[in-house]
């Protein structure tokens, strides 16, 4: 059921832009649409596997424990000296290091951080939490380093066991490394920027400086039937903190589980095709977050327009076709999870885009998501269409009639 609440305001004089009004006066009409959101749904598990190379390691106990696995499945076992005519077998490894780049703009730790490395190579399905978490144990520890706050810069060198690298090289085995962070600081995080600089392994095979250091880039050879997994040899393991989809009456955005909210609108045709929309605001009532531990962390929420056509109806598929809101002028919204009350999100540029593409080529829907997904336990919660009628999502539209142009 669609409800309308309206008021008008007479504006005289030029509005300063002929696109807003075709003559010297116009009547601004302010309308609130109730029941305009016809479909709302929360989905979790974003970003999906293979969608990004940037992952945030978290250490917040049961609230949030996220680790990262990196794969070096092909290691060299020979080298050639510049003065030699043939290759020689690698029989020693020295100064083995894994280099990662971290994005300190998401938050710099305020206490020393320890990064532990574990051998997580296994014959089991090693993208599954149940197979990998038991491998983060002392007898599989292959490297560790503690960084002082002043040492946490863009590039971090992680010393790894020379003997382990040599053994893997000689055996033609996979080197798969699980990274885990710990700190005295509660809720410490490090975001690995793999899209900027992919982690890499370097080591020396001889003290002769004429022979350059070996550099090994990420590579995964398994599973053979999954092209995405073989291309993206780096992925997170969520040990704890991924919450299920919220219950009836609640929409969620963000959190360790990467929640996204899908909203589809049923708009009166006149508001898209026959009037000039001056302002369009999505009104959501924010609830206190169900995640208490990180409820004070400010979270940036993005509004992404759905790019798929109206013929696609499966919500999971539709969400995959969401674009960038910034490309059409939709700004991010910064909210604090513990806060409650009415929130206004501007969508006027989206209305203009919908008018251009037409109803047949658009779902007229949006996806709400955290700017950096799965990088914090902080989750934003809102009242859904199943909540109290007075608190459900709605749209507030300010518009003027569209008028023709031309000389009298």
Q: Read off the pLDDT of residues 153-186 as tens digits, 9 standing for 90 and up.
A: 899 999 999 999 999 999 999 999 999 999 998 8
Q: How far apart are CA 204 and CA 96, in angstroms?
A: 7
Alpha carbons within 13 angstroms on the beta-carbon side of residue 15 total: 18
Residue 273 three-state SS: helix
Q: Cβ contacts of residue 194 below 8 Å, gap of 6+? A: 53, 54, 55, 100, 101, 218, 234
Return the pLDDT at 22.
43
Cβ 3 vs Cβ 34: under 8 Å: yes
Over 60: is that where the pLDDT of 306 sits?
yes
Q: What is the DSSP string of 276-296?
A: EEEEEEEEEEEE--S--TTTT
Q: Read off the pLDDT of residues 321-348 as tens digits, 9 standing for 90 and up.
A: 999 999 999 999 999 999 999 999 999 9
Q: How far apart are CA 363 and CA 305, in angstroms?
A: 9
Q: What is the 3-state secondary structure (H, E, C) of 354-390?
A: HHHHCHHHCCCEEEEEECCCCCCCCEEEEECCCCCHH
Return the pLDDT at 63.
92
Confidence of residue 270 (pLDDT cuts 50, 70, 90): confident
Peptide bond just before 232 cis, omega within 30 deg? no
Q: How far apart are CA 11 and CA 30, in angstroms?
A: 13
Over 90: is that where the pLDDT of 80 sits?
yes
Average pLDDT over residues 119-135: 88
Cβ 75 vs Cβ 166: under 8 Å: no
Q: Cβ contacts of residue 157 below 8 Å, gap of 6+? A: 97, 98, 99, 145
Residue 128 three-state SS: coil
What are the Cα distances from residue 404, in Å, to 23, 257, 303, 315? Answer: 9, 50, 32, 39
Q: What's the whole-model pTM score?
A: 0.86
Q: Read off the pLDDT of residues 192-245 as tens digits, 9 standing for 90 and up.
A: 999 889 999 999 999 999 999 999 999 998 877 777 667 779 999 999 999 999
Return the pLDDT at 17.
46
Signed CA dihedral, 348, 3, 285, 66: sign only: negative
Helix (H) or strand (E) holding 238: strand 234-240
Q: Cβ contacts of residue 43 below 8 Å, gap of 6+? A: 245, 259, 260, 261, 262, 315, 316, 319
Residue reference for tokens 């390691």 = 57
The size of the chain, in residues, is 408
CB atoms within 10 A of CB 248: 7
Cβ 234 vs Cβ 49: under 8 Å: no
Our CA angle for 167, 171, 172, nearest 5°, is 115
Higher pLDDT, 404 or 196: 196
Q: How far apart are CA 232 and CA 223, in angstroms?
A: 11
Q: How far apart are CA 80 and CA 90, in angstroms?
A: 10
Residue 154 three-state SS: coil
Return the pLDDT at 283.
98
Q: What is the 3-state secondary structure (H, E, C) of 25-70?
A: EEEEEEEEEECCEEEEEEECCCCCCCCCCEEEEEEECCCEEEEEEE
Tokens encoding 345:
């999100």
Residue 84 three-state SS: coil
Q: How far apart are CA 289 and CA 259, in angstroms?
A: 13
Return the pLDDT at 25.
57
Find the DSSP H helices in 249-330: 269, 315-320
């Amino acid at each position: 059921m669609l409800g309308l609440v309206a008021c008008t305001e007479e504006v005289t004089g030029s509005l300063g832009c002929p696109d807003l009004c075709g003559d010297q006066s116009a009547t601004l009409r302010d309308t609130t649409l109730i029941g305009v959101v016809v479909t709302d749904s929360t989905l979790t598990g974003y970003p999906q596997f293979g969608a990004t190379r940037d992952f945030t390691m978290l250490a917040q106990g049961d609230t949030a424990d996220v680790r990262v696995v990196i794969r070096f499945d092909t290691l060299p076992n020979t080298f050639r000296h510049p003065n030699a005519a043939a290759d020689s077998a690698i029989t020693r490894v020295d100064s083995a290091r894994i280099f990662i780049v971290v994005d300190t703009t998401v938050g710099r730790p305020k206490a020393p951080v320890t990064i532990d490395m574990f051998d997580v190579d296994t014959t089991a399905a090693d993208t599954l939490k149940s197979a990998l978490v038991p491998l983060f144990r002392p007898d599989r520890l292959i490297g560790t380093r503690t960084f002082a706050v002043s040492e946490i810069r863009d590039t971090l060198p992680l010393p790894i066991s020379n003997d382990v690298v040599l053994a893997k090289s000689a055996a033609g085995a996979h080197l798969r490394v699980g990274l885990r962070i710990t700190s005295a600081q509660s809720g410490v995080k490090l975001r690995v920027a793999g899209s900027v600089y992919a982690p890499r392994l370097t080591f020396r095979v001889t003290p002769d400086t004429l022979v350059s250091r070996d550099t090994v880039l990420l590579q995964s050879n398994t599973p053979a039937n999954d092209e995405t997994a073989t291309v993206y040899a780096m992925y997170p393991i969520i040990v704890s903190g991924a919450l299920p989809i919220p219950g009836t009456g609640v929409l969620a955005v963000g959190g360790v589980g990467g929640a996204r909210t899908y909203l589809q609108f049923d708009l009166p045709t006149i508001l898209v095709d026959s009037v000039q929309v001056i302002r369009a605001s999505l009104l959501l009532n924010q609830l206190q977050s169900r995640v208490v531990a990180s409820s004070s962390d400010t979270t940036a929420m993005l509004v992404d327009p759905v790019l798929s056509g109206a013929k696609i109806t499966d919500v999971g598929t539709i969400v995959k076709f969401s674009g960038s809101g910034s490309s059409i002028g939709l700004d991010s919204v910064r909210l604090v999870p513990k806060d409650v009350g009415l929130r206004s999100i501007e969508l006027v540029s989206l209305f203009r885009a919908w008018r251009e593409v037409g109803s047949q080529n658009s779902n007229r829907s949006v996806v709400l998501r955290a700017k950096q997904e799965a990088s914090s336990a902080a989750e934003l919660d809102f009242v859904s269409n199943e909540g109290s009628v007075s608190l459900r999502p709605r749209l507030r539209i300010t518009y003027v009639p569209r008028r023709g142009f031309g000389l009298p």
